[in-house]
Structure 1
Amino acid sequence: MGFFIPATVLAAGLPANELSLWWCLPFIGVLLSIAVSPLLIPHLWHHHSGKIIAIWCCIFLLPLCWQFSIMTCVSLVLHTLLQEYLPFMLLLLALYTLSGGIVIRNNGIGSVKLNVLLLASGTVLAGLMGTTGASMLLIRPILRANAQRRYRVHIVVFFIFLVANIGGGLTPLGDPPLFLGFLKGVGFQWTISNMILPVLLNTVLLLGVFTLIDQFLWLRETKTSTLPQPYNASWRIEGKINLLFLLAVIVIILLSGLCKNFPIWQFFGIEISLIACIRDGLLLLITLCGLKYTPSALRQQNEFNWAPMQEVGKLFIGIFITIAPVMAILQLGSDGQFKPLVNLIHHNGAPVNTLYFWMSGVLSGFLDNAPTYLVFFNLAGGEAQLLMLQFSKTLLAISMGSVFMGALSYIGNAPNLMIKSIAEQQHIAMPSFFGYMGWSLTILIPLFIVDTLLFF
C-alpha cells in the first residue's frame, strides 16, 4: 500500500449516499466570501475574514454532528487537518519563509531584454519554489529595475500571467492544485513530463507578446522623455543559504513521493504514514533553520511579514473542511447528486477533455484553483493511478486549467493580489478588477484556445 491516499474520499467516513446538495452550501459560501467580500466589504473582510470562514465551518459541522454523530465530525476534522491541511500549509510555509530571506540586488535599467530575462527566470523559479515564493522573490527587483519608466502596468500584468500562474505548472511544487494532486498520488515525474510542453509553449508565446508590447512602449518613452541607456547590469544575491534550504525542500518532496511501503497507523480511522510524518517534520525543521540563519535585515529589506500566510491559513482551513461533502458526492459519479454535471462533461462514459480544461479553468479564475482542482479530480474518478495511465489527457486538462487560468482574475490565485498590492505600494496605478480582466481576456483567451487545439 502506497503512502499517499489512493482514491480516498476527502471527507473520510461521510455517508455520501445520504448527502443532499444542501450540504454543499457552506463550501459555496466560503468561495463566494473569498471572491466577493474583498470587493464589497473590504474593511470588514480584512479584519474579520477568519471569523467569517469560521461561521461557514460551523454552519457545516454543527448540522453534521446533529444528523450523523460527533465522531463523524471529529473524524472529518482530523482527516482534514492531518492528511490535507497540514502538509499543504507546511510546504507553503517553507517556500514563503525561505524566499523571504533572499534579496536580489541589481543596478540594471528595465530594458526590454532585462524584463524578458526576469520574467523568464521567474517562470522557471515558480515551478521549483512555488508561484508565491517566486513572485515574492522577484516582484520587487523587477519593479526597482523599471522605477524610472512611465509605462509599467503591462510588466506587472505579465508578471502575474507568467510567474504567479503559468510557471507554477512545471512541478507539483509550483502551485497548490498540483501539490494537492501530488498528495492524492499523482506522480512527481508525471507532472513534469506532461506539463513541461504546455508550460514551455505558453511561456514562449506570452514572452513574445510581452516583448512586442514592451518594445513599443520603450520606444514611445524614449521619444517623449530621457531614459538612461541600458547597460550591463550587475547582480548580487544575499541570503544564499536559503537557496540551499529550497533545494532541500525539493529533494524532500521528491523522495517522499518515491518512497513506498512505509508503516501506516490508524488514528480515529485516519491513516497516518511514517513517511508523511518524516516529510512534514523535515519541512518544519528547514523552515525554522531558514528563520534562524537568515539575518533579520534581509527580511526587512524584503518587507517580509506573516500576514499573507495567516490569510492563506484561515481561508484554506475553511475550504478543506467545507469541501468534504462536495468531494464525497462527486465520488459517487453519475449515481450521486451531481449526475447532470457528470453527464455534461462525459460523453458515452468517456470524459470530454476540452470541457474539463475550460470548466476547471474558468472556475479557477474566479474562485480558487486548489479546491477547483480537487472538485474536477474527484469528478474524473479520484483514482490517481487510473487517471495517470488510462485518462492522462483528462488529468492534463484538469492540471492545465486549474493552474493556467488562475491568471484570469486577481482572485484566481493567491499571489495575484499580493503582486497587485506591492505594485500599488510602488505607486503603480494597477487596473481595477475588471480592468485587469480586460488584459487577461484579450491576451490569455486566444492562448488557451491554442492550448485546446493542440492538446485536447
Structure 2
Amino acid sequence: MKPTRTLALAAISLMPTLAAAADIDGSQLSLLWGVPFAGILLSIALLPLLAPLFWHHHFGKVVAFWALAFLLPFGVVFGPAVAGAGLVHALVAEYIPFVILLAALFTVAGGIYIRGNLHGSPALNVGILALGALLASFMGTTGASMLLIRPLIRANDNRRHVAHVVVFFIFIVSNAGGSLTPLGDPPLFLGFLKGVDFFWTVRHIFPETLFLVGVLLALFYVLDSWYFRQAGEISRSDPTPDSPPAALGFDGKINFVLLLAVVALVLMSGIWQSPVQWDVAGTPVGLPGLVRDLGLIAVTLASLALTPRQVHADNQFGWAPMQEVAKLFAGIFLTIIPVIAMLKAGVNGPFGAIVAAVTRPDGAPDPAMYFWATGLLSSFLDNAPTYLVFFNTAGGDPATLMTTYATTLAAISAGSVFMGANTYIGNAPNLMVKAIAEDRGVKMPSFFGYMLWSFGILVPLFVVMTFIWLR
C-alpha cells in the first residue's frame, strides 16, 4: 500500500490549489489552515510504520478525516462557491489527468514479464541498473521499477547479500533515472501540465543526471564486487533453476507497442495547440488534453484485454496500489489549497521565512537553496506535492522559469526527483520495491537503516552537485 501512495505523489493535485488559491489572500491566512495538509502527509509517512495494521485497514478513513477537517471549515469561511471551484479545478485539470497517466504506465508495465534466470554478477547487476535508469525516463520510475525488480531479485537469489542491490536499485531506477522527461517522475509531469516543455529537463539537468547515475553505478560496482568475492557469498543451490538461452525473453510484448502509444499521446498533448475547449464549472478543458486522457484510457483497456492472464499472474499484478493512490491524493489535493495560497503570498505570508530562505537579498531566487529545500522536503513529504509548492514559490510562470530562472527550475526539478531517494516515502516506487523484495525473502533495511545508506551515499553527491551546477 505504501508503494501506491508513492505514485500518489504524482497525483499531487497540488496543482488544484492554484484555482482556489487565486481567490484567497494567503497573507491573511493562519498557519492553522496548513494543519490538515501536514496531518495527512505525516499520517502517510508515520502510520504505516507505527501502526501498520490500523493504517492498512483504515487509511481511507484517515484521509477522509483530514480532507473534511479542511474542506468543511474552508467552505464555511470562504463560501461554498470558492470551495467548489477549487475542488472542480483540482479534479478536472490536474487529478484525473495524472491518475490516468499513472494507471496507463502501471498497467502497461505490469503486462510485461521477463522470463528466465540470470546470474547476478556485479557486471550483470550494473547492466540491469543502467538499463533501468534509461527506461525510467520513458516508462516512468514506477514502470521501470516494476519491470526490472523481480528479474533482478531472481538473478541474485543465490547470493547471501542482496539488500544493497535493492537499495541502489531504488537510488538509480526508482528515482534518479526518471529525471529527464515528464514521463519519468510525477513532479516532472506536473511541471509539464503547468506548461514546462517536454524536453526542457533533458536539456537542462542531463549533466547532473549523468553525474549522479554514473557515480552511483561505479560505487555499486565496487561494493557489489567486494561482496561477490567474499567466501560463502554464492550458494551452491540456486532457488531459481537455470533456463536455456532460448527460454530467455519477454511475455506480453504487445505492451511495448502500447508504451510507445503512451509516449506519443503525452507528447501530442504538449505540442498540439487547439482553440477548442470546454468550460467545466469555471475550469477550461482543452481538446488536446481530452484526447490524451481518452487515448490513455484506451491504452489501459487494450493492455488489460491483450495481455495473457498468465503474464499478470507471473508479475503478481494487482490494482491495490492504484486504489490507494486515488484515495490518498483525494485528501492531498484538497488540503494543499491553503498551503499554496500562503506560499504564493511570498514574504508577506505565514511561510515568509521559507520564501526568504530561498531568495537572495536582491529578490532573485537562490538555486542552491531551492535545490536543498525542495529535495529535503521531497524526502519526507513526497516529491510531487513538494515540486508544485516550490514551482509556485518561484513564481509559477513556466515561461519565466524556463528562461530567466532556468537554473532555479532545474534545481527544483533535480531536488524533487533526486532526493526522493533519501527515504522510503520520498517517491512512489521506493516502498513498492521494498515490499516486493521483502516478499521474496530479502532482508531490507529499516526506515532509518535505509536513511543511513541514502544520507551516507547520496547527500555527499548532492553537495558536490550544488558546488558544480547551482552556485
TM-score under structure 2 length normalisation? 0.92
Which of 358, 376, 397 is matched with 2:390 structurally? Answer: 376
Write the deviation string for residues 145-178 of structure 1: whole angstroms up to 9, x where unpaired. Answer: 1111111011000000011100111111011011
1:164-183 aligned within 5 A: 164-183=174-193
> What is the letter of the counterpart of residue 140 of structure 1?
R
Alignment RMSD: 2.0
State whether residues 111 and 218 of structure 1, in contact with CA within 8 Å, keep that contact through their aligned partners in structure 2.
yes
Q: Give the aligned partner of residue 351 of structure 1.
A: 365
State whether residues 90 and 280 of structure 1, in contact with CA within 8 Å, keep that contact through their aligned partners in structure 2.
yes
Which of 16, 19, 23 is matched with 1:14 structurally? Answer: 23
SS at match of 1:351: coil
State the distance in 2 between where 1:187 and 1:270 align: 22
Tell whether 2:339 aligns with 1:326. yes
State the distance in 2 between where 1:194 and 1:400 align: 10
Structure 2 spans left out of the alignment, 5+ residues: 1-13
State the distance in 2 between where 1:232 and 1:134 align: 25
State the distance in 2 between where 1:270 and 1:185 align: 16
Q: Give the aligned partner of residue 44 of structure 1.
A: 54
> What is the letter of the counterpart of residue 410 of structure 1?
Y
State whether residues 181 and 188 of structure 2, in contact with CA within 8 Å, keep that contact through their aligned partners in structure 1.
yes
SS at match of 2:278: strand
Tell whether 2:207 aligns with 1:197. yes
Q: Give the aligned partner of residue 355 of structure 2.
A: 342
Write the deviation string for residues 290-319 of structure 1: whole angstroms up to 9, x where unpaired. Answer: 101111110000000011111111112211
1:96-245 aligned within 5 A: 96-221=106-231, 226=236, 235-245=248-258
State the distance in 2 between where 1:27 and 1:6 align: 14
State the distance in 1 between where 2:279 and 2:235 align: 69
> What is the letter of the counterpart of residue 166 of structure 1?
A
Q: Give the aligned partner of residue 3 of structure 2.
A: none
Which of 430, 433, 447 is matched with 1:419 structurally? Answer: 433
Write the deviation string for residues 101-132 of structure 1: whole angstroms up to 9, x where unpaired. Answer: 10012332111111111111111111111111
State whether residues 363 and 369 of structure 1, in contact with CA within 8 Å, keep that contact through their aligned partners in structure 2.
yes
Identity %, equivalent residues: 51
SS at match of 1:346: coil
> What is the letter of the counterpart of residue 273 of structure 1?
G
State the distance in 1 between where 2:157 and 2:459 align: 30
Question: Structure 1 residue 199: deviation in Å?
Answer: 1.4
Question: Structure 1 residue 23: deviation in Å?
Answer: 1.3
Mark the CA change 1:53 to 1:223 in structure 2 (over 3 Å): closer, same or farther. Answer: closer
State whether residues 143 and 423 of structure 1, in contact with CA within 8 Å, keep that contact through their aligned partners in structure 2.
yes
1:51-62 aligned within 5 A: 51-62=61-72
Q: Give the aligned partner of residue 441 of structure 1.
A: 455
Question: Structure 1 residue 195: deviation in Å?
Answer: 2.4
SS at match of 2:285: strand
Question: Structure 1 residue 183: deviation in Å?
Answer: 0.6
State whether residues 113 and 251 of structure 2, in contact with CA within 8 Å, keep that contact through their aligned partners in structure 1.
yes
State the distance in 1 between where 2:313 and 2:292 align: 29
State whether residues 120 and 152 of structure 2, in contact with CA within 8 Å, keep that contact through their aligned partners in structure 1.
yes
Which of 283, 289, 296 is matched with 1:276 structurally? Answer: 289
Q: Give the aligned partner of residue 365 of structure 1.
A: 379
Which of 31, 37, 53 is matched with 1:27 structurally? Answer: 37
Mark the CA change 1:10 to 1:410 in structure 2 (over 3 Å): closer, same or farther. Answer: farther
State the distance in 2 between where 1:7 and 1:378 align: 12
Q: Give the aligned partner of residue 7 of structure 2.
A: none
Which of 399, 403, 407 is matched with 1:393 structurally? Answer: 407
Question: Structure 1 residue 261: deviation in Å?
Answer: 3.6
State the distance in 2 between where 1:7 and 1:447 align: 34
TM-score under structure 1 length normalisation? 0.95
> What is the letter of the counterpart of residue 95 of structure 1?
L
State the distance in 2 between where 1:336 and 1:287 align: 43
> What is the letter of the counterpart of residue 370 of structure 2?
Y
SS at match of 1:350: coil
State the distance in 1 between where 2:373 and 2:366 align: 11
SS at match of 2:395: coil
> What is the letter of the counterpart of residue 33 of structure 2?
W
State whether residues 116 and 211 of structure 1, in contact with CA within 8 Å, keep that contact through their aligned partners in structure 2.
yes
Mark the CA change 1:401 to 1:153 in structure 2 (over 3 Å): closer, same or farther. Answer: same
- Select between 234-243 and 348-357 the one with higher mean Cα deviation: 234-243
State the distance in 2 between where 1:69 and 1:111 align: 62
> What is the letter of the counterpart of residue 264 of structure 1?
Q
SS at match of 2:199: helix
SS at match of 2:182: coil
Question: Structure 1 residue 50: deviation in Å?
Answer: 1.2
Question: Structure 1 residue 216: deviation in Å?
Answer: 0.5
State the distance in 2 between where 1:102 and 1:6 align: 32
Choose between structure 1 and 2 for higher RCO, CA contacts under 8 A separated by at least 6 residues: 2
1:73-92 aligned within 5 A: 73-92=83-102
SS at match of 2:279: strand
Aligned residues: 451
